[in-house]
Chain A
Amino acid sequence: MKFQLKIWRQANASVAGKMVDYTIDGVNPDMSFLEMIDVLNEELIRKNDTPVAFDHDCREGICGMCSMYINGRAHGPQKATTTCQLMMRHFTDGETIYVEPFRAKAFPIIKDLVVDRSSFDRIQDVGGFVSVNTGQVKDANNLPVEKEKADMAMDAASCIGCGACVAACKNASAMLFVSAKVSQYALLPQGQPERKIRVQKMVAQMDAEGFGGCTNTGACEAECPKEISISNIARMNREYFSAGLLQD
């Protein structure tokens, strides 16, 4: 297969970037999108050009590191798929493919396709945990958890923190990410003691990081590679309001 690639190149945060054209030939349909970029990079290095910088690590769709915006969509055209698991067989031979970084005020560009998502980490710092020290605990089976609740918590906990939800949202809102964490704990007995304070702190930090508000367009759910449900956002809204009500 052969493709025209238009890739965002930007040397660092303080210079302007632009789309640059490349042609790549001999692409095997069984290659992943990142393997195609690997091949391109090898060619660039051989020509003494600078390879394209991009984030990636596990290449199994679980670490959340890869983060490309392909043909106007976070992680590209394939549903429920991260860029690293996106196979070239899903593109049409001869196609022009646009590759950009995730764009959001709270995700500043570092280089080429690499962005800074440390805002996600800082949201977790303020409340994304159960306050329990190592060793202070009782036998695990002394705390039965309804299977249905445990499964729902697991659904929410499957979030890989890649930021596709933010990139897909026209407001660059982080509601899906934050609500997945809030939901996981709200659904489990372990999360109850800090239930109110958690949601309040995490939402406050989310706002402080410069993420936008949610207008219920649902783009986040549609583009989430792990199909995290938008119902988590509804749950978080309920949690947030009841936390506020109960405080006054």
Chain B
Amino acid sequence: MSILDSKIPEGPLETKWEDYKSHMKLVNPANKRKLEIIVVGTGLAGGAAAATLAELGYKVKTFCYQDSARRAHSIAAQGGINAAKNYKNDGDSVYRLFYDTIKGGDFRAREANVYRLAEVSANIIDQCVAQGVPFAREYGGLLDNRSFGGAQVSRTFYARGQTGQQLLLGAYSAMKRQVGLGNIEEYNRHEMLEVVKIDGKARGIIARNMVTGELERHFGHAVVLATGGYGNVFFLSTNAMGCNVTAAWKAHKSGAFFGNPCYTQIHPTCIPVSGDYQSKLTLMSESLRNDGRVWVPKSQVDCKKRPQDISEDDRDYYLERKYPSFGNLAPRDIASRAAKEACDDGRGVGESGLAVYLDFSDAIKRLGQATVQARYGNLFDMYHHITGENPYETPMRIYPAVHYTMGGLWVDYNLMTTVPGLYAAGECNFSDHGANRLGASALMQGLADGYYVLPYTIGNYLADEIFTKAIPTDHEEFEAAENKVRERIEKLLAVKGNQTVDDFHKKLGRIMWDYCGMARTAEGLDKAIVMVRELREEFWKDVRVTGQNNEMNPDLEKALRVADFIELGELMILDARNRNESCGGHFRTEFQDEGEAKRNDEKYAYVAAWEHNGVDEQPTMHKEELKYENIKLQTRSYK
């Protein structure tokens, strides 16, 4: 028997989740009060989980590294959230959302989880509206929808260009209510740096108080990680500056397998890099592709001309040309690669030649500036702020950037990792998006996990824990875990080398972008693995971390994160090297059909779940075979 048991319930796809809920074990209210749950992360997944678990009566502690739960990176999501409501009567259904998500993920996600996601999606919208989330509405007072990449129906709900903000503030408000009621204790400006395991089960965490530097021990009958994605391994990404892999990585090193680490999403519409000082990249929501048209000049000689001076005939609307049925709404991986191809072909625009146009002049002609402004006003303003150019007058320049990580901690149907009692929700797990995520489905997944999945599945586990008394934190395993953290911190501070943490982070990012980014080759990956290993050695010999542990020390925080990113980078490269096929965001140049990803279902229709064996040891790969019982595997086509 394989160690990996995904615990998918028996029965037809359509009834698995209902059956699960009807047959799961329950915890009675009196016992819930005695059970403590740690939720690390207060984004959509963690915030929703914490609020709901507290409503159910559990004692919840939340942790986040920002100064307030409301600032989790989910706040930055712009475009929208999918739900199979079929309010537009355009033929949407749970099955269609399920199918689109599996297909969008290039047939590398688990059917049962994705179906459940599509099933609960409609409830999410109901819940958010009840909380007072001000979604966009039509004149009749009903909810409005827009279309997003990879779908031919209109199922995306939105709140201007600030959907993530409004959804997060909704979850945060639900959390706040529970804080007020005394059911949630918040630990903000706290960074989780270790998982505590007792007798094989997750029983707590070690967190660093980022104001005082104190290392704190916290017990929980179960621990939920909802710590977001690891796109910052590339240094430059659309993620917030603090996004990190540390919590997930510590879990991994404590026995949680890591699923498909190489699946990275490169988003097609970001503001291009402007200089070395650049600290992050800014996303322009994909919703812009609803009305904006993507193009480059047909000929290299036109690249330095002003866009206004390039005639219609000399423009190549390459997405519309190559993918007539989806056009500018082709999925992200495809749109990104097409942009790269155009630029590799010498037809990129802007100073660096690493950009393509996203043009709204037709939309403005067709709809009027006021309508375009109502739809995308804040995005246009943001673009204007950053670049100093007015997108109402001249086309935006965009280029792909790292945006989302489909890989993450491997979880079963219960969202439990391979460590009993340790759960992973939201972007930090690997579960629902296969090799490519469709737009507007991360918000959906985060809230589905937090509001509708975890609260049930965790009860099923905790029903067997009602006799476990809270374990005092002077237990030797807490002691050992705290010592491990302390030693790592002391070791970092003691190096006193010559290069800054950012120097290393940038070097790592460069390696990852060049060899494990939009296009990967066996040869490049072999080279990269050596480079990353060398970088790790160099880091521990030559990094300079200023200040002390016992104070607020952003330099130390960053160093701890970068140390983990370097280790993760190595695993991503191994995973990319192992997967001798192209699928979704993982494009291996050797495996293609004239630029289109060429999957190998015979050999690679599995999830690679990696087991950690020590930093200098080769990890062990476990396979979860993906069985498609309801969907036929096909070549993904958007033509």
Contact = CB atoms under 8 A, between A and B. Distances in A.
Interface in A195-241: none
B127 A57 contact: no
A81 B381 CA distance: 10
Contacts of A31: 275, 277
Given A61-B382, A150-B134, A154-B134, A129 B166 contact: no
A87 B383 CA distance: 12
Interface stretch (A69-77, A93-101, A112-120, A167-175): A112-120
Interface string B148-182: 00000000000110100110010011101101100
B71 A48 contact: no
Interface string B380-409: 011001111000000000000000000000
Contacts of B55: 133-134
B470 interface: no
B123 A64 contact: no
B546 interface: yes
B129 A190 contact: yes
Interface string B117-148: 00000010111111110111111111100000
A108 B524 CA distance: 51
Contacts of A7: none
B76 interface: yes
A117 B67 contact: yes
A243 interface: no
Contacts of A64: 68, 70-71, 75
B459 to A, nearest CB: 13
Interface in B13-63: 48, 51-52, 55
Nearest to A138: B126
A128 B173 contact: yes
B188 interface: yes
A145 B141 contact: yes
Contacts of B551: 11-12, 111
Contacts of B165: 62, 158, 160
B73 A144 contact: no
Given A12-B551, A58-B76, A135-B127, A46 B500 contact: yes
A60 interface: yes
B70 A161 contact: yes
Contact of B546 (A30, A51, A127, A150): A51
A87 B388 contact: yes
Given A53-B554, A132-B130, A62 B76 contact: yes
A110 B186 CA distance: 18
Interface in B259-282: 274-275, 277-280, 282
Contact of B169 (A81, A85, A111, A157): A157
Given A118-B188, A144-B140, A89 B134 contact: no
Nearest to B72: A63
B277 A81 contact: no
B79 to A, nearest CB: 13
B240 interface: yes
Nearest to B242: A57
B67 A65 contact: yes
B547 interface: yes
Contacts of B125: 140
B500 A42 contact: yes
A121 B134 contact: no
A224 B63 CA distance: 29
B69 interface: yes
Chain A interface size, as a band, is 35 or more
Nearest to A28: B275
A140 B132 contact: no
Given A34-B279, A134-B455, A129 B131 contact: yes
A114 B179 contact: no
A128 B131 CA distance: 10
B143 A129 contact: no
Q: Which of A30, A56, A58, A147 has the most CB of B within 10 A?
A: A58
A62 B67 contact: no
Contacts of B242: 57
B263 to A, nearest CB: 24
Contacts of B386: 32, 85, 87
A60 B76 contact: yes
Given A135-B123, A141-B142, A143-B129, A58 B160 contact: no
A117 B71 CA distance: 12
A59 B278 CA distance: 11
A106 interface: no
B310 interface: no
Interface string A9-36: 0011000000000000000101110111
A144 B144 CA distance: 11
A191 B240 CA distance: 32
A188 B132 contact: yes
Given A110-B552, A118-B188, A134-B127, A58 B240 contact: yes
B87 interface: yes
Contact of A56 (B52, B241, B452, B502): B241
B561 interface: no
Contacts of A141: 85, 87, 142-143
Contacts of A124: 172-173, 176
B166 A57 contact: no
B478 interface: no
B544 A130 contact: no
Contacts of A147: 137-139, 141
B546 A81 contact: no
A5 B138 CA distance: 49
A194 B280 CA distance: 41
Contacts of A126: 180
A87 to B, nearest CB: 7
Q: Which of A64, A132, A140, A161 has the most CB of B within 10 A?
A: A140
B302 to A, nearest CB: 25
B555 interface: yes
B451 interface: yes
A62 B162 contact: yes
Interface in B320-376: none
A168 to B, nearest CB: 19
B180 A81 contact: no
Nearest to A31: B277
Contacts of B176: 121, 124-125, 128-129
B211 interface: yes
B269 to A, nearest CB: 14
A39 B277 contact: yes
Given A134-B127, A185-B132, A129 B552 contact: no
A118 B132 contact: no
Contact of A120 (B68, B127, B134): B68
17 contacts: A12-B552, A28-B274, A39-B277, A45-B544, A51-B554, A57-B242, A85-B385, A85-B386, A120-B68, A121-B188, A131-B177, A132-B127, A140-B143, A143-B130, A151-B137, A190-B129, A190-B130
Given A121-B176, A124-B176, A153-B132, 17 more contacts: A42-B502, A60-B382, A63-B66, A63-B73, A65-B67, A87-B386, A114-B552, A116-B67, A121-B69, A124-B173, A125-B179, A132-B174, A134-B451, A135-B451, A137-B130, A158-B165, A191-B132
